[in-house]
Structure 1
Amino acid sequence: MNYKEAKEEFIQLWGSLGTNWGIPKAMAEIHALLLASENPLSTDEIMDELKVSRSNANLNIRALIDWSLIYKKRIPGERKEYFVAEKDIWEVAVRIIKERRRREVDPVIRELKNLSSFEAESFEEKNFKNLLSDTHELAKKMNTIGDMVERAEKLNFVKWVVKGF
């Protein structure tokens, strides 16, 4: 396999992983392309490389910027916008965890707390309230783990994980 084939496979792989994580395939593929590119790319270059429409490219570029996974890069003398990806894969993982927590986990934790605020009278109601409470506690603990990962330095986290095994 040569470099070009490996790069194309990486983009496809990242796109497939993205869909497994609930991220649009095009968004993950744009991210992979920018991760694998040494130079900043314009929207037109992204469209040409991935064979996506301008609206699809623009929508997903904006989403990647919102997630702080890519940045605009100004090139002197150019009027086009160019984009680069955060290359530190640890930082990428931390940013994804942070954004997923903000968008998905935090609202679930709030909602579980609200759902369990009813007065339980019957055996069935008490069991259901216990289920909600246990699920709320588990979600909070998982959120705490995410917080630890976000705050950890890469090397210290890896040492911590390796020590645990």
Structure 2
Amino acid sequence: MNQEPTSDPLEDARQTFVRSWGALGSSWGVSRTMAMVHALLLVTDPPLSTDDVMAELGASRGNANMNLRELVGWGLVRRVVVEGERREYFEAEKDVWTMFCTIARERKRREIEPALALLEACLATTKGLRSGKAKAFHKQLSELAQFVGTANAVLERISASEQSKVIPAILKWLK
């Protein structure tokens, strides 16, 4: 991605957003390139082809393809048909609430649910143990499982609310 300032303030802001979103991606557990591809598609109309993404970001074909597939898998990007074109084109989900719900649902599925399953398995293994160490371990994991279970329930409600306008309305009211 061209990093030199242009005479176009909109293009400068667009480039800054894409680069910065990419840098933030690593703190969210997402690769820099994946976050940059998402940001690029989020702020670009019309849809882009893999070649367009490669040219904009200076990414290799393999890297662009892999990240586009991953974003499609997350449900944050979709393939679109461009009439008269044989190439695949991609566009990002642009509705912020839908995007947030999609991310919440995927993080719940990929991170929270496996953590909860691990905790429950460890709790089942230590449930009947009588030593002081075992009881302390079981108590600590019980509290952690209760917290993770609550987080799971909250994410379930939030991610299911994209059809409902109740939670977005409540959040707007809380501002």
Q: After the TM superposition, which residues 85-164 of structure 1 pair with which residues of structure 2 at under 5 Å, given as runs?
A: 85-117=92-124, 118=126, 119-153=128-162, 155-161=165-171
Could you tell me which amino acid in structure 1 is paired with residue 146 of structure 2? E
TM-score normalised over the length of structure 2 = 0.89
Q: After the TM superposition, which residues 1-165 of structure 1 pair with which residues of structure 2 at under 5 Å, given as runs?
A: 2-117=9-124, 118=126, 119-153=128-162, 155-161=165-171
Contact 2:123 2:138 in 1 (8 A): yes
Contact 2:78 2:90 in 1 (8 A): yes
Contact 2:97 2:168 in 1 (8 A): no
Displacement of 1:163 in angstroms is 5.3
Taking only aligned residues, the RMSD between alpha carbons, in angstroms, comes to 1.6
| Distance in structure 2 (CA, Å) of the matches to 1:94 and 1:151 | 7
Percent identity, aligned pairs only?
Answer: 36
Moved over 4 A (4+): 162-165
Return 144-153 or 71-80, whichever deviates more. 144-153
Displacement of 1:17 in angstroms is 2.0
| Distance in structure 2 (CA, Å) of the matches to 1:110 and 1:40 | 39
In structure 2, list runs of 5 or more residues that go unmatched: 1-7
Displacement of 1:75 in angstroms is 1.1
Other structure's SS at 1:116 match: helix
Return 41-50 or 146-155, whichever deviates more. 146-155
In structure 1, list runs of 5 or more residues that go unmatched: none
Return 147-156 or 36-45, whichever deviates more. 147-156
| Distance in structure 1 (CA, Å) of the matches to 2:35 and 2:157 | 25
| Distance in structure 2 (CA, Å) of the matches to 1:163 and 1:125 | 46
Could you tell me which amino acid in structure 2 is paired with residue 79 of structure 1? R
Number of equivalences: 165
Could you tell me which amino acid in structure 2 is paired with residue 111 of structure 1? L
